[in-house]
C-alpha cells in the first residue's frame, strides 16, 4: 500500500517582534539572517537593510513611477509599506500605488489594497516556513495580495534579472529586464532602459 507522507509544517521558534518581516495566516515570517542576530553574530541593522543594488533599484523605480502616473489620482508609497489584510495578516511592500480617494494616512498600516505592488527580491528567511523555495513564497504572497484586491504585482529579481508580472484575470508570466511592462494606465516600465539611463550596469 502506497503511503503519501504529508509535509509537516515547520515548528517555528519564538521570533522577537523586531525580527518579523511579515505575518501570514498568523505565522511570523522573519527577516533573512535573523538567526545571526539571535546568535549575536550580526546586529539588527545588518539584516534589515537592503543591498546597494536593491536600495537604488527601489529608489529609481519609485521615482520613475511617481513621475509617470497621475499623481492627482494616485499616491506612491515605498519603504516597505505595511499592508494590513486582516487579523494576523500583515504584509510589506517595496512600492505600492494607491488611489488617493480610498486611503487615510495615519500611524497604522494601510488597510486598503493598493492598485499595484512592486517588489524587489526576497527579504525573508524561508528555513522555518512551509515554503520549499523562493518561488513558492512569491506565488503564495502574490495570490494573497490578489485576494486582498491588488490588481497588478510586479516582482523583480536582481540575480536572475527576471520580472514576474501577476494579475487576477490574465496569465501570470515572466519577462526579461528588456521587456516593456505596463505598471498602471499609461505608465510603462522597461527596467533595462531605466538602468541604462541612470548609468547603472547590472
Kind of pairing between the strands at 116-120 and 152-157: parallel
Which cell goes with 113? 489594497
Examine the pLDDT at 21 and tell me if it is beyond 60: yes
The Cα–Cα gap between 137 and 32 comes to: 13
- State the pLDDT at residue 135: 93
The Cα–Cα gap between 59 and 71 comes to: 17
**In this structure, is residue 1 part of a structural domain?**
no
Domain of 120 in residue numbering reads as 19-197
**In this structure, is residue 3 part of a structural domain?**
no
**Domains in the chain, number:** 1
**In this structure, is residue 202 part of a structural domain?**
no
- Look up the CATH number of the domain holding residue 111: 3.90.1570.10
Examine the pLDDT at 6 and tell me if it is beyond 50: no
Burial class (CB in 10 A: 0-12, 13-18, 19+), 51: exposed
**In this structure, is residue 113 part of a structural domain?**
yes
pTM of the model: 0.89
Other C-beta atoms lying within 10 Å of the C-beta of residue 158 = 15
Examine the pLDDT at 2 and tell me if it is beyond 50: no
Report whether 119 contacts 155 (CB < 8 A). yes
Residue 89: strand, helix, or coil: strand
Examine the pLDDT at 201 and tell me if it is beyond 90: no
**In this structure, is residue 7 part of a structural domain?**
no
**In this structure, is residue 174 part of a structural domain?**
yes
Q: What is the mean pLDDT of residues 24-33?
A: 91
The Cα–Cα gap between 182 and 128 comes to: 35
Q: What is the mean pLDDT of residues 91-119?
A: 97
Nearest CA among 62, 57, 103 for reference residue 84: 103
**In this structure, is residue 14 part of a structural domain?**
no
Please, which residues bridge with residue 84 across strands? 90
Residues above pLDDT 90, as percent of the chain: 75
pLDDT digits (tens, 9 = 90+) for 157-168: 999 999 999 999
**In this structure, is residue 185 part of a structural domain?**
yes
Amino acid at each position: 500500500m502506497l503511503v503519501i507522507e504529508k509535509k509537516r509544517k515547520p515548528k517555528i521558534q519564538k521570533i522577537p517582534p523586531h525580527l518579523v518581516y511579515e505575518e501570514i495566516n498568523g505565522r511570523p515570517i522573519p527577516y533573512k539572517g535573523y538567526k545571526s542576530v539571535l546568535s549575536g553574530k550580526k546586529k539588527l541593522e545588518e539584516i534589515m537593510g537592503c543591498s546597494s543594488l536593491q536600495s537604488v533599484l527601489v529608489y529609481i523605480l519609485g521615482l520613475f513611477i511617481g513621475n509617470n502616473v497621475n499623481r492627482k489620482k494616485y499616491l506612491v508609497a515605498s519603504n516597505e509599506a505595511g499592508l494590513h489584510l486582516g487579523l494576523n495578516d500583515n504584509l510589506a511592500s517595496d512600492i505600492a500605488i494607491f488611489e488617493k480617494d480610498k486611503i487615510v494616512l495615519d500611524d497604522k498600516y494601510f488597510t486598503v489594497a493598493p492598485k499595484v505592488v512592486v517588489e524587489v527580491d526576497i527579504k525573508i528567511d524561508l528555513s522555518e516556513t512551509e515554503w520549499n523555495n523562493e518561488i513558492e513564497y512569491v506565488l503564495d504572497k502574490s495570490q494573497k495580495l490578489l485576494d486582498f484586491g491588488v490588481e497588478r504585482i510586479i516582482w523583480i529579481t536582481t540575480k536572475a534579472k527576471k520580472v514576474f508580472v501577476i494579475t487576477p484575470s490574465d496569465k501570470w508570466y515572466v519577462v526579461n529586464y528588456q521587456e516593456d511592462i505596463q505598471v498602471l494606465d499609461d505608465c510603462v516600465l522597461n527596467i533595462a532602459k531605466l538602468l541604462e539611463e541612470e548609468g547603472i550596469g547590472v
